[in-house]
Chains A and B, each alone.
Chain A
Amino acid sequence: MIHLYGLVQQLEELPDVPGVGGAPLERRRIEGFELVVSQSKKELQEVSEKAVLTHATVVEELMGRSRAVLPARFGRAFTGEKELSDAVRTKAAGLESGLTRVRGCVEFGLRVLAREARRENSQPLSGREYMRARLAEATERDRLSEELHEPLTRLSRTSTRFGGAGAELLQAAYLVPEENAVAFREYLRGLETAYPRLALICTGPWPPYTFADEGEDPRERSA
């Protein structure tokens, strides 16, 4: 079985870290693409926390040593060299545009949580008043999430919003050119001060996992 970590461009040398299951990292060149893989004799791949962290560590290490990294999802391993090269050939166009898209960028994740507004007056509302209040609340949430999201998109090459459920006001990922990464973080820090009633959870810089596959939930993806 062959486990794929990702596609790279101009990788200097393989990082000195073990692959999944302790297997050594190997390079492949298929259709002009550079791939980083490891092999295992196991038929079934174990999806343990350790295996996921190993995969992530390899991808992270590749980020520092390549011009571009297109991270692979931790999925079913390839049964052999032929399956791998066939898959690369089939997806060649998407892989090429993916590499171009993520080159020179890192990813940031953002979750914004709004705390429940405390009811100031406990007077019961009529049905109509209740519906009106709910509607006003929803409109305000939309306005606020757009107000938070929009300036961040301007620092990004592209971005994706996910359907924030429940307490989440905004859940998004941003593909940020490396030269904007510091400005991006500073802007977020400013938001924390400007919106004390919101909890902002920013993670990153990540390898560009969210932007690796085109057509994956492209909802509201902006250029």
Chain B
Amino acid sequence: MSVRDEHELKYQVTLVELVDRVLNKGVVLTGDITLSVADVDLVYVGLRVLLSSVATLEEQREISAAGAQL
């Protein structure tokens, strides 16, 4: 994974965390907060994909670090 990809990944993770907070956290004053958004589900799908990319990224780092030691 290139530096640029890593940068992009960090941006995406931050964005997902942000959207999660804005839509799912925060104080609620209106009685109902039902938003008809298909987008919200997409956020969660996005999050799962992102988390697996993070794990992959860490794995690759470890492999390349091990390679460098040889």
Interface size range of chain B in the complex: 20 to 34
Q: Does the CB pair A212–B59 fall under 8 Å?
A: no
- Per-residue CB proximity of A54-83 to B under 8 Å, as 1/0? 011001000000000011111111100001
Which residues 14-70 of B sit at the A interface, judged by CB distance below 8 A? 14, 17-19, 21-35, 37, 39-40, 48, 51-52, 54-55, 57-59, 62
Q: Does the CB pair A73–B51 fall under 8 Å?
A: no
Please report the C-alpha to C-alpha distance between residue A113 and residue B52 in the assembled complex, in whole angstroms.
Answer: 9
Chain A residues within 8 Å of chain B by Cβ, number: 46
- Measured between beta carbons, the chain B residues less than 8 angstroms from A88 are 29
- Measured between beta carbons, the chain A residues less than 8 angstroms from B33 are 73, 75-76
Please report the C-alpha to C-alpha distance between residue A204 and residue B54 in the assembled complex, in whole angstroms.
Answer: 17
**In the assembled complex, A34 has its CB within 8 A of some CB on chain B:** no
Q: Does the CB pair B58–A199 fall under 8 Å?
A: yes
Q: Does the CB pair B28–A213 fall under 8 Å?
A: yes
Q: Does the CB pair B26–A73 fall under 8 Å?
A: yes
**In the assembled complex, A109 has its CB within 8 A of some CB on chain B:** yes
Please classify the interface of chain B as helix (H, G, I), strand (E, B), loop, or mixed, using the class held by over half of its residues.
helix
Closest to A46 in B: B37
Known interface pairs A4-B29, A91-B29; A74-B23 also in contact (CB < 8 Å): yes
Q: Does the CB pair A72–B23 fall under 8 Å?
A: no
- Measured between beta carbons, the chain A residues less than 8 angstroms from B18 are 52-53, 56, 206
Known interface pairs A75-B35, A201-B54, A203-B13; A115-B27 also in contact (CB < 8 Å): no
Q: Does the CB pair B27–A201 fall under 8 Å?
A: no
Shortest CB-to-CB span from B55 to chain A, Å, is: 5
Q: Does the CB pair B39–A7 fall under 8 Å?
A: no
Which residues 108-124 of A sit at the B interface, judged by CB distance below 8 A? 109, 111, 113, 115
Which residues 73-111 of A sit at the B interface, judged by CB distance below 8 A? 73-78, 83-84, 87-88, 91, 94-95, 98, 109, 111
Choose one: B29, B55, B62; the contact of A167 (CB below 8 Å).
B55
Shortest CB-to-CB span from B26 to chain A, Å, is: 3
Which of B22, B48, B54 has the most CB atoms of chain A within a 10 A radius of its CB? Answer: B22
Q: Can you give 18 A-B contacts (C-beta < 8 A)?
A: A73-B24, A74-B23, A75-B30, A75-B35, A76-B32, A87-B29, A87-B31, A95-B27, A109-B17, A113-B51, A115-B58, A203-B17, A206-B17, A209-B21, A209-B22, A209-B25, A212-B26, A213-B27
Further contacts, 15 of them, CB under 8 A, given A55-B22, A166-B48: A52-B23, A56-B18, A59-B22, A71-B27, A73-B22, A75-B28, A83-B30, A111-B51, A113-B51, A113-B58, A115-B59, A199-B55, A203-B13, A206-B18, A213-B25
